[in-house]
Amino acid sequence: MEADLIIRGGTVLPMAPGREPIPDGAVAVRSGAIVAVGPAAELATIGGAAEVLDAGGGLILPGFVNTHTHLAMTLIRGVAEDLPLKEWLEDHIWPTERALMTADTVALGTRLAAAESLQAGVTCVCDMYFHAERVIDEVVKAGLRAVVPESLIDFATPSCPTPDIALARQRELLERYGNHPLVVPAVAPHSPYSVSAANLVKEAELAEEFGAPLIIHVAETRWEVEKIGAEKGVTPVAYLADLGILSDRTVAAHCVHVSEADLELLGEFEVGIASNPVCNLKLASGLAPLPQMLARELKVAFGTDGAASNNTLDLLRDAQLASLVYKGISGDPTVMPARTVVEMLTVGGARVLGLSDRIGTLEPGMRADVICLALDRPRAVPAYDAFSHLAYAARAADVCHVVVDGRIVVRDRALLTVDVPSLLAEVREATEAARARISQ
Amino acid sequence: MEADLIIRGGTVLPMAPGREPIPDGAVAVRSGAIVAVGPAAELATIGGAAEVLDAGGGLILPGFVNTHTHLAMTLIRGVAEDLPLKEWLEDHIWPTERALMTADTVALGTRLAAAESLQAGVTCVCDMYFHAERVIDEVVKAGLRAVVPESLIDFATPSCPTPDIALARQRELLERYGNHPLVVPAVAPHSPYSVSAANLVKEAELAEEFGAPLIIHVAETRWEVEKIGAEKGVTPVAYLADLGILSDRTVAAHCVHVSEADLELLGEFEVGIASNPVCNLKLASGLAPLPQMLARELKVAFGTDGAASNNTLDLLRDAQLASLVYKGISGDPTVMPARTVVEMLTVGGARVLGLSDRIGTLEPGMRADVICLALDRPRAVPAYDAFSHLAYAARAADVCHVVVDGRIVVRDRALLTVDVPSLLAEVREATEAARARISQ
């Protein structure tokens, strides 16, 4: 057997059902796919000419999957804070977005987000923003796997003056990128309260025609639940189910305010749930019933949401925080144990995005999205158990190597695909306008 | 005016009441004390021969103050997880501690903790453990400012077979280290439920005699409140107040389960409250009423607690998590705003420990405990506002320089006072026994 990349020198966490960590393990990669996983001694005969990534005694695991974000919003991280939700959104976030977000700045913000994501061990993201063609260019150049929709709202977006134009743009994307190695094109009606029933149905039909993911915000706030309840007489989840929008290709972001009946529906339709605990707490939207979702074996994993409300794309932090918060809130320290947290970050995220046939575990036949976490700092020792370390002690800054689709994109903590100093300079220049607006 | 160290090249956050951030500011240090703070241009004439620390366009602020930890417990971070509290403590933490913790391993664990703390921007800690002489040796060598008690419990501790021996050891420490530049010796009766009323009174008298801090766990769990209630007929806070234990030198760790009347008492006696949100959530102990404490203007700041229950000494994470969690729980996104978070990390921590006459702000006359945070990574840009950046986006790994009492202990993210590779090797060797025990 031959390989062109061997990742070794650490404990391998395959994250496949029933597979335990492999001390001193290795992963062999050929043409972007994993060809072997096992003890390093067993893989020693493979690929003498292969490039080697040494984890330096750390951990080797599938890359993290960020199931919900708005990549380009990195440009407005921290632009306004500590305000009531309506004031924050209407007086600060939206005006700044309108002033700042052009096709070029969306591209720049996406490049920044891709760089941040990869350095944080995130190898796959589900975006939801505008100017999808530019987003795709940037994630592909950075080497980040991504689900990328053009978003549809009933009013004009930064990229599409009307919903019909958004629909046409989505169709073009689905046709053009249907077989891309890194990008999964998708449709994204913004939410049940900002898209008409007619347009929601058109979106579902388009997604169905192409077998594509449909990304939508659902039941994020009490306000939304009350509005849909008043207008439609049902919960947002029931409304979408009635319209025929929900399927196993749906990625429903948030699902904070959901009833037991809603959870039943989400399970019945095999909907993927993207939970964003940092954002939901920060905006005081509430907390999704994650333990109940897990008990029902729903497809649920973590998202960071956009950097305007997180303020980072540090998915590991969302996962660690969730594990702590649900223990504390429930009064039960056994809730969301370490292994569950790591499963949600990897294979769980892949399931939510409908990509578990290709990513989320380290097994032969899967695409090689692999990260190495170093245990080389005082804060990282001792590490008695790999899952415990990841769930409670590891930090994004420990990510030392990142491989996406077999390509080394981060090596020794350095990003190889983006010129970071130039990127930071461009970001500082592009955000001066927003800065000037704030200081007024 | 002369200086032997100038810290410049960034925005200075003085953190003193009414003092706003100084863009392109500088801090001048002489003989371990701050001698000037202001715009770099105004300080340009100071100390031509001084050593320069350049923040590289980042932030310059007082070091973080960790108001409650058990330093040496770094050696058992992650040793057991996701268990009911009683089982976790009695079947895992205590047996491992008994097997592992000697004077030498306490010294090693303290060295590890000091290294981790300094790299995380923590320049002052309040410890609570055993073998205080060894703890002091280690923090002094590492260059970490510390409040260090010998702990007293009614039964034998790893260092003291009886409470009377602990009392004698405490007196020796108070006499020996009363005027140390880095170390504040202290007394620490473990808790109201593990120390008799007679011994609590002896501890308070000893602390009073030397004007020393008295560190004690208070109202951490419902179990404790019920036990003290059943035995004494009052709350733990009221019990300690009745005994005359509480004063403005008391550092009360946790205060999770406290009533309005308890808050009134804590304010009346000017008790310092060390809140440990990560630990309290992880062990499902509950959440202290921090917003109410802040509204009452109590002295309250953050602690990490020991690494067995955190699992790090990353105080910035505790603070950021608290800001998010209290917003989410209260339903009010204006709770614990960014500036409050940064105040609690710095000047608030100094107040809790009774050290605000010497640390916690950057002002002439204060000791020079200063950290620089870099803004040189994709995740750190844009940074529209220094407080928002620290409260929501910064990470411990961004800490690039650390100065304690005028001594540069971390430079360009490298720890200068501890040989890290040797330390990690020693830790791995010392913890093999604990590892073998776990794998059984």
Distance from CA of B434 to the nearest CA of A (A): 9
The two tokens of residue A304 are 């960071």
Residue A266 within any structural domain of the chain: yes
Residue B83 within any structural domain of the chain: yes
Owning domain of residue B312? 64-350
Instruction: For B219-276, write each residue's pLDDT tens digit.
Output: 999 999 999 999 999 999 999 999 999 999 999 999 999 999 999 999 999 999 999 9
> What's the complex ipTM?
0.97
Residue A258 within any structural domain of the chain: yes
> B residues 356-385 near A, CB within 8 Å?
376-379, 381-385
**B419: DSSP letter:** -
For B22-48, the DSSP string reads EEEEEEEEETTEEEEEEETTTTTTS-T
B212 and B305 share one domain:
yes
Residues of A in contact with B377 (CB under 8 A): 116, 119, 420
Helices B132-142 & B163-177 angle (0-180, nearest 10) = 30
B175 and B204 share one domain:
yes
Residues of A in contact with B438 (CB under 8 A): 384-385
> A residues 61-90 near B, CB within 8 Å?
74-79, 81-85, 88
Residue B423 within any structural domain of the chain: no
As averages over each run of 10 residues, the pLDDT of chain A (440 residues) reads: 94 96 97 97 84 97 98 95 90 88 96 98 98 98 98 94 97 97 98 98 98 98 97 98 98 98 98 98 97 98 97 98 97 97 98 98 98 97 96 98 98 98 96 73
Residue B435 within any structural domain of the chain: no
| pLDDT value of residue A436 | 76
A375 and A306 share one domain:
no
Interchain proximity B281–A383, CB inside 8 Å: no
Instruction: For B285-327, write each residue's pLDDT tens digit.
Output: 999 999 999 999 999 999 999 999 999 999 999 999 999 999 9
Instruction: For A40-59, write each residue's pLDDT tens digit.
Output: 999 988 876 789 999 999 99
Quick check: B178 pLDDT over 80? yes
Instruction: For B345-395, write each residue's pLDDT tens digit.
Output: 999 999 999 999 999 999 999 999 999 999 999 999 999 999 999 999 999
B191 and B164 share one domain:
yes
Residue A330 within any structural domain of the chain: yes
Q: What is the CATH number of the domain that holds B11?
A: 2.30.40.10
B248 and B380 share one domain:
no
Residue B257 within any structural domain of the chain: yes
A139 and A23 share one domain:
no
Residue A213 and residue A126 in contact, taking contact as beta carbons nearer than 8 Å? yes
SS3 content of chain B, % helix, strand, coil (to 5): 40, 20, 35
Residue B221 within any structural domain of the chain: yes
Q: What is the CATH number of the domain that holds B293?
A: 3.20.20.140
What does the alpha-carbon distance between residue B390 and residue A81 come to, in Å, rounded to a whole number?
A: 12
B199 and B329 share one domain:
yes
pTM of the model: 0.97
B255 and B380 share one domain:
no
| pLDDT value of residue B439 | 62
Distance from CA of B301 to the nearest CA of A (A): 19
Interchain proximity A434–B120, CB inside 8 Å: no
Q: What is the 3-state secondary structure (H, E, C) of chain A?
A: CCCCEEEEEEEECCCCCCCCCEEEEEEEEECCEEEEEEECCCCCCCCCCCEEEEEEEEEEEECEEECCCCHHHHHHCCCCCCCCHHHHHHHHHHHHHHHHCCHHHHHHHHHHHHHHHHHCCEEEEECCECCHHHHHHHHHHHCCEEEEEEEECCCCCCCCCCHHHHHHHHHHHHHHHCCCCCEEEEEEECCCCCCCHHHHHHHHHHHHHHCCCEEEEECCCHHHHHHHHHHHCCCHHHHHHHHCCCCCCEEEEECCCCCHHHHHHHHHCCCEEEECHHHHHHCCCCCCCHHHHHHCCCEEEECCCCHHHCCCCCHHHHHHHHHHHHHHHHCCCCCCCHHHHHHHHHHHHHHHCCCCCCCCCCCCCCECCEEEECCCCHHHCCCCCHHHHHHHHCCHHHEEEEEECCEEEEECCEECCCCHHHHHHHHHHHCHHHHHHHHC
B280 and B329 share one domain:
yes
B50 and B137 share one domain:
no
Residues of A in contact with B83 (CB under 8 A): 333-334
| pLDDT value of residue A433 | 74
Q: Which residue among A74, A378, A383 places its CB closest to the CB of B115? A: A378
Please indicate if any CB of chain B lies within 8 Å of the CB of A112: yes
CB pairs under 8 A between A and B: 219
A112 and A27 share one domain:
no
Distance from CA of B201 to the nearest CA of A (A): 33
Number of domains in chain B: 2
B121 and B23 share one domain:
no
